[in-house]
Amino acid sequence: MNTPSKTPWPTKDAMKQVYAKNLWGGSNTPFYSGAGSHDAETVQLYLKAVICFFKSLENPPVVCDLGCGDFNVGKELVSYTQAYKAADIVPELIAHNQKTFKSKQLTFETLDLAKDPLPEGDIALLRQVLQHLSNAEIQTIVNKLYAFKYIILTEHVPEAEFIPNTDIISGQGIRLKKQSGVELLAPPFNFKVKATKQLVSLPAPGTKGTLVTTLYTVF
């Protein structure tokens, strides 16, 4: 019989350990969010697609970067927004970002996406964030995403067909080892949206699987 964990969502401690021990690489840098945030081709193709969408809107959007990581990607998007609200669960990471990145429309906040209220905005960016979380945590976040007009979601998924949303314990790893990946429109999340559009799909750098970025129009 499995003994229930006293900390059912140990996400904060797990992510603090990731950065403290450089578990995603970048041994020469104080904070490093992995190859998906630093591989040149991966980052540039993502930025091209997202910036193109931002520019297609009538007005510069208010963007909420939920799980902003080391901000190597987000820093390139700030100038295309009316306001850019970046959040992450690791306080030390947020403190580092606040010292490193400056812009009049940029703010940083320490936030547990599953437990805390989300900032208000037009667009929520979730870039390789949900893939590290348990289904229970993802569900609490999904319930809050209906407040946004658009969601831009990036997930690391298997290359071939897969069974979506196999549950995991929140932490460094993702569902790829279980031949699964996050799919918000599938059970148990059943995220209801007006429209979907794939913005980018490319091989995940340095590992197996595919990075898929999808635009969801919520209302």
* CATH code where residue 79 lies: 3.40.50.150
Within-domain flag for 50: yes
Within-domain flag for 163: no
- pLDDT tens, position by position, 157-168: 999 999 999 999
Cα 189 from chain centre: 17
Within-domain flag for 199: yes
pLDDT of residue 163: 97
pLDDT of residue 6: 40
- Round to whole Å and give the CA distance between 179 and 157: 8
pLDDT of residue 2: 35
Total number of domains in the chain = 1
The Cβ-side half-sphere exposure at 57, using a 13 Å CA radius, reads 17
Within-domain flag for 25: no
Is 121:144 a contact under the CB 8 Å cutoff? no
Within-domain flag for 191: yes
Within-domain flag for 100: yes
Task: Residue 41: count other Cβ atoms within 10 Å of its Cβ.
Answer: 10
Within-domain flag for 160: no
Domain enclosing residue 134, as ranges? 41-151+173-217
Low-confidence ranges of the chain (pLDDT < 70): 1-9, 18, 21-27, 33
pLDDT of residue 5: 38
Tokens encoding 10: 């140990």
pLDDT of residue 16: 73
Within-domain flag for 16: no
